[in-house]
Structure 1
Amino acid sequence: MPFIEENDLLDLHKDIEKAQIINERLLDQIKFKNKDLKKLKIQRYLLIGVMAIFLIGALGMVAYFTGMNAHNELYEERISSSQDSLEKARKRLEFLKDQNEELSLVKDFYLAKKFLNKEKVYSVQVKSLVDSNIPLAPNALTNTHLVKTNPYYAYSIGTFETLEEAQNFRLHLVDIGFKDAFVASYKDGKRLQIERPD
């Protein structure tokens, strides 16, 4: 078993915990943005309905006041008021469109993360254990893997999109004492294969 300094182990765990906190914050932001997106959709449909009613009402008012030349002053005042309200509604609609684009970017990020979970990823295995109850790291960490590979449990650290990133991380772990560390590929939470070292 490789020897690791306590400070290096603490630094490694701190890095892992920081990554977990960042992941949790991103997920919270995604959930919050999804709620906002639903609210904005409802607001958008309500705004469109109100605008349609407003436009129909405005057209009716225009037709009514056009026929009444005797009340020309009142007609001009109401048209001016309608134009101001229409301008406010246009600005609100533009604001909602901007927010919708922003939320679309968050939604795209969330969908990309969901897609990544179904893709092949790489992780660095540092230990094989007979018992899965050995608490090397908290279960809540999203970038650690504890996978059953009969009759052992394989403990891996990190989730990488490319083999090169995983190999670089493996070299760092070898430098701090995990001489037997190697990269394995995973998909849907199952190990596919052990990758060749670079």
Structure 2
Amino acid sequence: METLAEQYQQVSKQKSRIQRYNKALKQALIFSGGLIVLLLGYLIFIEHFTPLFGRWPEVQQSLQSAQEENRYLKAQMDSLYRVNDMLLELSPYYTGVFYEVQIGAFEHFDLANYKDDLVKMNIDYNGPLDQYTLGKFRDLKKALAFQKDIQQMGIQDAFVVAKVDGERVTVKEALREAKRLQQGRQESLEKNPT
């Protein structure tokens, strides 16, 4: 025969077990209810909206369109840079890096009276010497080719001079500045692809 204490202990264990089962059952019901609400919400959503995975073709097409426009705009920017360079070469003002071919530097020879008629000849008044240059090139290779042509015409002392923002510098300094400007332009294109 079991004593009252033993019966109480068994009832207490069964009560504890039932409480654990009830707790697990509540958690399962809450989880199931949450899952059912989530599934119902998804069903309502797809009834009114196209699901994301159904939009992949639209997203892909939009991406391709944006990439094509990006390529077009980069080509336009490149074209604008080339036109800008050409306009700067033709401009009487100096901004950036330029190369000219000096054909002479004279102390007692003044062509100032003819300056209006010598549109393509540049005269730099530096100290006692008036320096005469022809051409205005962004590209050193073009300037060197022009120098060679001028020398073949008989002006053997012709040489290339470099300018950065209108100031004479060495060709090496001009090349370094041109490289720096080109890198800045490239970084600008990379930072602002559109």
**TM-score when scaled to structure 1?**
0.37
- Based on CA coordinates, which of the two structures has the bigger radius of gyration? 2
Asked which structure has the greater RCO (Cα within 8 Å, sep 6+), the reply is: 1
